[in-house]
A = this chain, B = another copy of it.
């Protein structure tokens, strides 16, 4: 007899079928009712033990966290809350779980405690739901791009370049950590290192993705990226996953269309496929927010927020318009912003972005055409000579979700920009080649995957939406 999963059994009709199932005990009450879970669904299946016919030594070993193998009959449930249950005929303890020491007791644990026990936290409803949603979103992303003619590309993790410009990098080395070989001038001789030069962990796959876009047309990356920044916040990780599509012959308007369609599509996928987990997380968020003052609570529930994004157009606003709105806003005039917006050219802070999204427009906002000098070297300079075809997509509650741009496709303009920023042409010879041979308009964006998972799960700390977070002073597990 093939083992079933809980998800399969809960969908079956109760026709007193013989079944067997393996899973972990969530709770055992009244020496009679086992709530059994195997990860296949948020739901437990109730297994009813006839304690009079069961060895007492076995009954004692049915504890929270124990792995058990149950044979029995699937029958119509006698109690409330489920349609079917299992009348247990035999139970075999596969692995005990000492109730005195098992960290995941059937009670509410703080997320901090569960982070310290991240190897066990997916044994809770919250984290199993989060990780199932993370998986589902990942699949939705691959599905979207596959159906839309994009090729998945694995850009390199170890890079010999430090010109990507997106932030501080981690060094990757094989040299003796204490006594590295030195050059005559006393500097470290990276020629003796594994790759024959200094190497780092990538901060973005964009530049390499551009090379494939300029031959294969539509490509995307979905891989880990790294920032060696000492940011101990609820929104930053040193290691996170990023999605970066890149498309030849697509301009900034097309880039906005793509990003909006993409975001809506993957969120719709989880609405359609992960209802149960979403409803659980929605309730969790409601319960959490009950402890907060009214003003800090969300106006919409989790599923309402997701539906809102799926159903509404993203508002497209130029940076220049946004500055006007902000300059004339109440918090700016009343000096409630930490950074007062005084003139065009100011870099927008999180407080400004949140004002635009949450107070002013009350919907996802695409800001575009930013001042050139606050954006990266590869962004397409507009005809005005002072703005670039950049875009940021801002989401309620999360802030920046996507950053993208049309790329500078003109060799002379790109070279001038690199020179002004002191970026070595020789290091990016291959990137410049794309502008020498068959250059064309092209665009793309980057989406921080964990930000998307935060939005879709309502989790407030980025460390709780990735299996094993890497942050300053923490690389446990």
Assess whether A327 is interfacial by the CB under 8 Å rule.
no
Separation of A98 and B437 alpha carbons in the complex (Å): 7
Whether A120 and B467, one on each chain, are in contact in the complex, defined by CB atoms closer than 8 angstroms, is no
From B159, B226, B249, B467, give the contact of A212 (CB < 8 A). Answer: B467
Whether A151 and B178, one on each chain, are in contact in the complex, defined by CB atoms closer than 8 angstroms, is no
Separation of A279 and B172 alpha carbons in the complex (Å): 40
From B131, B152, B224, B226, give the contact of A216 (CB < 8 A). Answer: B131
Assess whether A271 is interfacial by the CB under 8 Å rule.
no
Whether A434 and B119, one on each chain, are in contact in the complex, defined by CB atoms closer than 8 angstroms, is yes
Whether B440 and A156, one on each chain, are in contact in the complex, defined by CB atoms closer than 8 angstroms, is no
Separation of A211 and B274 alpha carbons in the complex (Å): 22
Q: Mark A416-437, 1 if CB is under 8 A from B, else 0.
A: 0000000000000011011111
Separation of A215 and B129 alpha carbons in the complex (Å): 11
List the one stretch of A316-324, A341-349, A364-372, A468-476 in contact with chain B.
A468-476
Assess whether A358 is interfacial by the CB under 8 Å rule.
no
Secondary structure at the A interface, as helix, strand, loop or mixed, is: loop
Separation of A27 and B347 alpha carbons in the complex (Å): 47
Q: Which residues of B contact A230 (CB under 8 A)?
A: 194
Assess whether A158 is interfacial by the CB under 8 Å rule.
yes
Separation of A122 and B434 alpha carbons in the complex (Å): 12
Whether A123 and B215, one on each chain, are in contact in the complex, defined by CB atoms closer than 8 angstroms, is yes
Q: Which residues of B contact A439 (CB under 8 A)?
A: 67, 94-95
Whether A160 and B476, one on each chain, are in contact in the complex, defined by CB atoms closer than 8 angstroms, is yes
Separation of A134 and B198 alpha carbons in the complex (Å): 29
Q: Which residues of B contact A201 (CB under 8 A)?
A: 157-158, 172
Shortest Cβ distance from A220 into B: residue? B135
Assess whether A128 is interfacial by the CB under 8 Å rule.
yes
Q: Which residues of B contact A152 (CB under 8 A)?
A: 134-135, 138-139
Shortest Cβ distance from A201 into B: residue? B172
Shortest Cβ distance from A191 into B: residue? B473
State which residues 51-78 of A face B: CB under 8 Å: 65-67
Q: Mark A165-183, 1 if CB is under 8 A from B, else 0.
A: 0001011111101101010
Can you report 26 A-B residue pairs in the complex whose CB atoms are below 8 A from each other?
A22-B440, A25-B438, A67-B438, A67-B440, A95-B435, A95-B439, A95-B440, A101-B436, A103-B437, A120-B433, A139-B142, A142-B142, A154-B241, A156-B239, A156-B470, A157-B157, A158-B201, A158-B238, A158-B239, A158-B475, A159-B475, A171-B172, A172-B172, A175-B177, A195-B472, A223-B224
